[in-house]
Amino acid sequence: MKPFRGARGRLIMLQYWRVARMIGRGGEIGTLETLLDHAVDGRGAALVLRGEAGIGKSALLEHAVDAGHERGMRVLSVTGVQAEVQFPYAGLDHLLRPLRRALESTGSPYRMAVEVLELLGDADLPVLLAIEDAHWLDSASWETLTFLCRRVESDRIAVVMAVREGEDIDRRLAAAGIPELRLEPLLPADAGTLLDRTAPGLTPALRSRVLAEAAGNPLGLVELGGAVARSGSSALLPSSLPLSTRVEQTFGGLVAELPPLTRELLLIAALDDGGNLDEILAAAAILTGGEVPTDAIQPAVAARLVSVDEQYELRFRHPLLRSALRQQAAPGNRRRVHAALVEVLADSPARLLWHRASAVPGPDEALARELTEAAVGGGERQAVAFALAAINRAVQLSQDPAARARRQGVAAQLAYDQGDSHTVRRLMNEIDLNALRPADQARLTWLREAVFQSAWSGDDRLLTYANAVDTMRRDGEVGDAVAALTELGLRIFYSSASGPVRERFTEVTLACGLAADDPRLTSLLLLFDPVEHGATGLRRLSEFVHRVDLPATQRFDLAVATFAVGAFGIGRSLALSAAADLRAQGRIGTLASTLNTAASASLELGDVRAALPLAAEGVALAEETAQPTWVLGGRLILARAEALRGDVAAARHRADAAEQVLLAAHRLPMLALVQRARGLAALAEGHADDAFRQLFRIFDPADSAYFPNYHLHALSDLTEAAVLGGFQEELRPVVSDLEAVVERSHSPALRVALGYARAALSGDYAGALAVDLTGWPFERARLQLTYGAALRRSYRVTESRPLLRAAAGTFDALGTTPWADRARAELRATGETRRKPMDALAALTPQEQQIARLAAEGLSNREIGERLFLSPRTVSTHLYRIYPKIYVSSRAELARRITSSDVV
């Protein structure tokens, strides 16, 4: 089939772009124009145009660009390029090049999204981002732009992306959460109209054949109709080819009659991961053995196949042409081009490595090792697209079956770190398990458990893991062994592992030879055996909490470990400190789990006001990064927070939903978290009998929710239920068993809880309150409430009032409304009335609470946006809504109102 050439060819293509915008797409055009109108008015939004190749996405995107210009918008556009998917921020760099210098490729997508929001938000004009073939954007650009799309609701920004169909796109869009507009094939009448306008005069037989073959695809109608008009039915052969392949062949044919040197340049450009014309010409000179003039590309420019801008950046007019050139080139030719680019790119190590790997003709173990090292480094720098591309190429180049299988495992781990469970499943199915060492098989097994959310490992499997990690250590892979132990730390803790299992993991940890002051040693020993190593671990934690030089990930691991020994104040400080750095780094995946940890620590101290916005953001980010375990954990934190503030229906709903997931996965120890939420909900309602029954399950060895590691967390709640319901005798053996534990572990939380429990059994509340409870406001207030109520019932009214007043004030400040109401009720019974204060934050959503707190602390809109991954304009919009809700009109008033609600 001959391509369209000359003026007639260009006219036909131009007709297609114009006509396709009109025929059968009225509804879609209306949707796009509404989107642009909203953006101009400050109600930013994003839309994904979906459909098969040639369905009209490009025509609609061009219409959006024209409509944006008509509305006075600044239009920035980019086309995703298949050859650039392994290079972080290549697409974003091209998109923003008219506004700023090239982006740093080592940045985080989430931090970069905030920078882009600020950059665009500061523009004088509303902005349209028009992205063609977004499915071929590099991963970092995709993550940045989709994250931005979810945060433009108050900005004058519209984002329109065009993507093809495909399973990979389904998964990416499902995670992105952006509204979609799916383009369906044209209706028969509209398809006939388009064909008649672009290829008039076809015989009925040929017209019918084109309509059948094109199946409503506008590009297919235009291309096939024009080809049939010139060549007859032979243009439709072979009939077995799918439409997308046939259309790509049509575009590939557009270069057939260009000069050979021009075709060579186009192939180099198609395979190059950059678009610099001088770079392309240099590679061509190597291939041809002589200097290649700049005007050698002119025939392609004249044919409107490519454009070259003022910076000598070459861009293909249509992405299908680039794809067609790559697919149609012989393997040998592709390797020749990559080899030439290797010589040109000596100053770009990452790009050089990629082209070296693409040029090599067969297995190359040394190069595979280089790629693997680059993949691991890329993962650490968050250039995950490059990391995955590099490790997949390393797998292809591997000569050693065992090394190949290990590299596939690395790829699976990289995919898991990004929350891409589908890719993990695919990679796992491809791994030859027989080629793996036992240690690698074990790591793959626990990764499979995490991805598939299957039943958690029992003692036998856990011992197998411990032995596998010990094998790594004995083989000299101490770093891998420690990393594996860190991966397993929470699993062991929440599996309620038996003594022998904990002892074996402790033995392996100690055998790794970590220094006594290594934070990893403290974290692991506390998670594996908090009773035996609690006292030493607490001393270390008190030192680490002031270590600002520790990596944020290590501070997060330490924060998690504090829960094993009940050092919640230290845990909250470590988690909040780590979260601040993770925000600055834009490491949103780890940030999600860190926020949940900080929220849970705040709740353990009774601070519902601080916990709610932290947990809400943690859950939202965990959902965005596809971390189901942290989504579940975060929702259980929210359930406890809701119970403590009196929203018992919401708390029970979350607890019920979590229970279904945990039972299905046989993660029985975590049922303790469900029972605690239910117990707190019952306490909030004043149903002491139900509360004791729900909470006692955590302490009953015969119950599926039995979880010894959680006893220090739930003892005070159980004690309160016992006092209110008269279950002191049932409480007594629980207290007796835990006395030995606190003696060995020195757990601060257990010490405080046992002080309350002993007082409940002996009646000596004054002695319990004499202990320093400065860092435990909720526990102190609970003791004051219990003691004050006991005094009132003993007719010691005057002595009871100060205790009840103090308890009510603390509970109000913490946001634990049912407990504050109970303290006020007891106070009324003494003859004294205490007004319920207005809750300044109750009318705000968790995100609004977070913004209000940060504004009250004096942060600017830009600084708040950087913290929460929002644009300054969005922050301003939220504050505009917050002020009337809490009856303030300025930041100064906001600060006073927020401060009056907080604990001093």
pLDDT digits (tens, 9 = 90+) for 450-465: 555 555 556 777 888 8
Per-residue pLDDT at 88: 76
pLDDT digits (tens, 9 = 90+) for 496-538: 888 899 999 999 999 999 999 999 999 999 999 999 999 999 9
Order of strands, sheet of 157-163, starting from the edge strand that comes earlier in the sequence: 74-79, 127-132, 157-163, 45-50, 180-182
The DSSP element (H or E) to which 316 belongs, if any, is strand 314-316
What is the rounded average pLDDT for all residues in the chain?
Answer: 83
SS3 503: helix
Q: What do you get for the CA distance between the two ends of the chain, in Å?
A: 80
Per-residue pLDDT at 706: 94
d(CA 875, CA 860): 9
Per-residue pLDDT at 317: 66
Residue 88 structure tokens: 């972080």
d(CA 375, CA 384): 8
pLDDT digits (tens, 9 = 90+) for 535-554: 999 999 999 998 888 988 89
Mean pLDDT, range 293-321, rounded to an integer = 82
Residue whose pair of structure tokens reads 């259980």 in the numeric block = 636
Does the pLDDT value for residue 1 go beyond 50?
no
Which of 149-153, 347-351, 646-650, 719-723 has the weakest average pLDDT?
Answer: 347-351
> Angle at the Cα of 46 (from 111 to 86), degrees rounded to 5?
50
Q: What is the reported pTM? A: 0.71
At 208, the pLDDT band (50, 70, 90 cuts) reads confident
At 249, the pLDDT band (50, 70, 90 cuts) reads low
Per-residue pLDDT at 167: 61
Does the pLDDT value for residue 2 go beyond 60?
no
Nearest to 79 by CA among 344, 307, 389: 307
Residue 403 structure tokens: 């090394």
Per-residue pLDDT at 395: 87
d(CA 549, CA 281): 48
d(CA 24, CA 184): 10
Per-residue pLDDT at 503: 94
Ranked by mean pLDDT, which of 137-146, 560-569, 620-629 comes out on top? 560-569
> Angle at the Cα of 316 (from 39 to 235), degrees rounded to 5?
110
297 DSSP 8-state letter: G
**SS in 3 state form for 840-900?**
CCCCCCHHHHHHHHHHHCCCCHHHHHHHHCCCHHHHHHHHHHHHHHCCCCCHHHHHHHHHH
CB within 8 Å of 740: residues ≥ 6 apart: none
d(CA 883, CA 877): 10
Output the furthest CA–CA distance in the chain (Å, rounded): 106
Residue 889 structure tokens: 């009109």
* 250 within 8 A of 235, measured Cβ to Cβ: no
SS3 313: strand
Residue 687 structure tokens: 């149903």
Nearest to 424 by CA among 434, 409, 436, 440: 409
What is the identity of the amino acid at 91?
G
Residue 356 structure tokens: 């070296």
Phi, psi of 642 (to 5 degrees): -65, -40
Does the pLDDT value for residue 867 go beyond 80?
no
Mean pLDDT, range 652-666, rounded to an integer = 89
Mean pLDDT, range 171-195, rounded to an integer = 85
pLDDT digits (tens, 9 = 90+) for 471-497: 888 888 888 788 888 888 888 888 888
Per-residue pLDDT at 897: 74
CA distances 562 to 534, 576, 684, Å, are 10, 13, 27
Does the pLDDT value for residue 268 go beyond 90?
yes
Per-residue pLDDT at 527: 95
d(CA 108, CA 47): 23
More reliable by pLDDT, 629 or 606: 606
Mean pLDDT, range 125-149, rounded to an integer = 88
Per-residue pLDDT at 166: 66
Counts for the chain of helices (H) and strands (E), in that order: 46, 7
- What pairing do the DSSP bridges indicate for beta strands 157-163 and 127-132? parallel
**Alpha helices of 272-360 — where are they, by DSSP H?**
277-288, 298-302, 319-328, 331-344, 349-359
- The CB density around residue 227, as the number of other CB atoms within 10 Å, is 22
179 DSSP 8-state letter: -
CB within 8 Å of 643: residues ≥ 6 apart: 651, 677, 680, 681, 683, 684
More reliable by pLDDT, 756 or 214: 756
d(CA 785, CA 230): 92
Count Cα neighbours of 229 within 13 Å in the Cβ-side half-sphere.
Answer: 19
d(CA 745, CA 533): 7
Does the pLDDT value for residue 337 go beyond 90?
yes
* 495 within 8 A of 456, measured Cβ to Cβ: yes
Which of 101-110, 408-417, 429-438, 824-833 has the weakest average pLDDT?
Answer: 101-110
Residue 737 structure tokens: 């068993």
What is the identity of the amino acid at 456?
W
- What pairing do the DSSP bridges indicate for beta strands 180-182 and 45-50? parallel
> Angle at the Cα of 60 (from 58 to 64), degrees rounded to 5?
110
Mean pLDDT, range 594-611, rounded to an integer = 94
Per-residue pLDDT at 757: 97
What is the identity of the amino acid at 899?
T
d(CA 448, CA 441): 10
Residue whose pair of structure tokens reads 């991954």 in the numeric block = 869
Does the pLDDT value for residue 230 go beyond 70?
no
- The CB density around residue 365, as the number of other CB atoms within 10 Å, is 14
Residue 733 structure tokens: 């053996």
Which of 188-197, 206-215, 356-365 has the weakest average pLDDT?
Answer: 206-215
* 323 within 8 A of 81, measured Cβ to Cβ: no
Residue 363 structure tokens: 């297995």
Does the pLDDT value for residue 106 go beyond 70?
no
Mean pLDDT, range 623-640, rounded to an integer = 88
At 11, the pLDDT band (50, 70, 90 cuts) reads very low
